[in-house]
Amino acid sequence: MPTPPRVLTVAGSDSGGGAGIQADLKTMLALGTHGMSVLTAVTAQNSLGVQGAWELPAEAVRAQFRSVVDDIGVQAVKTGMLSSAGLVETVAELLAGLDVPVVIDPVGVSKHGDPLLAESALDAVRTELLPTATVATPNLDEVAQLTGVLVREEADMRRAAAAVLEFGPRWALVKGGHLAAGAGSGDAVDLLTDGTEEHWLRAPRHDNRHTHGTGCTLASAIAAQLAKGDTVPQAAAAAKEYVTGAIAAGFRLGAGIGPVDHGWRLRG
């Protein structure tokens, strides 16, 4: 049996299984790749929020990364929760030594509004992590946090993407899921651009509470598609289709925000 494409996620754990490392690995499996992980933090997390978070030492992150990359090898990498400047700097240094596509999800807050990135780490994200990215995938809150650009309507997304690109990623995917439905077409709209090409990715907005893990899932899906040989626009379009279906098929767990259904195609 041929070896599937190998994708590495560098992110935090979600004990509830809806986001973080758990969402990444489920996505990678669903899209036909072999997922591997470098754990950066452990969280106590459920449908109601994050009750606690414990960062792993940089030495442990570096050792996990080298263990996987030096033996098994990778064909794409995705990063998620990197809670401190020290971790951001460590991961950026490791990524700089790779020659594979890198998807940077600059996670700032959880779906429930819990902070997952220290204020002191923002400069390291801007100057060290984002320049390693093939694609950066900030949501509107993260765009504001990193660039100061506030997006209130679709037209603002071009300015937001341009501000993100100034930090060095080859492509910026500005996710418009947090945009009020009345501020655009009513669809969930994302803008992918490298500063020259523009790709507007639109999908029906599903009005449900099954949205936990959408950002992690989208970034992981892009990484999986890049590992399989897609171009960035192809990967982003395929990932958008996958996450839209996962939201539509999401299910209720606990008393709060439920997860997307990463296996929706497998049950098709």
Catalytic residues: 175, 211, 213-216
DSSP 226: H
Can you point out the beta strands (E) in 69-197?
76-79, 102-104, 135-136, 171-175, 188-193
Length of the chain: 268
Pairing status of strand 34-46 against strand 198-203: unpaired
Q: Please, are residues 224 and 184 in contact by the beta-carbon 8 Å criterion? A: no
Give me the residue label for tokens 């996505």. 27
Q: Order across the sheet with 188-193: list the strands.
A: 49-55, 34-46, 6-14, 76-79, 102-104, 135-136, 171-175, 188-193, 198-203
- Find the farthest-apart pair of alpha carbons in the chain and give their distance in angstroms, rounded: 50
Q: Please, are residues 221 and 232 in contact by the beta-carbon 8 Å criterion? A: no
SS3 call for 90: helix
Give me the residue label for tokens 């700089």. 96
Element (H, E) at 126: none
Residues 185 and 155: their CA atoms lie apart, in Å, by 11
Q: Please, are residues 184 and 153 in contact by the beta-carbon 8 Å criterion? A: yes
Closest CA to 9 of 114, 31, 124: 31
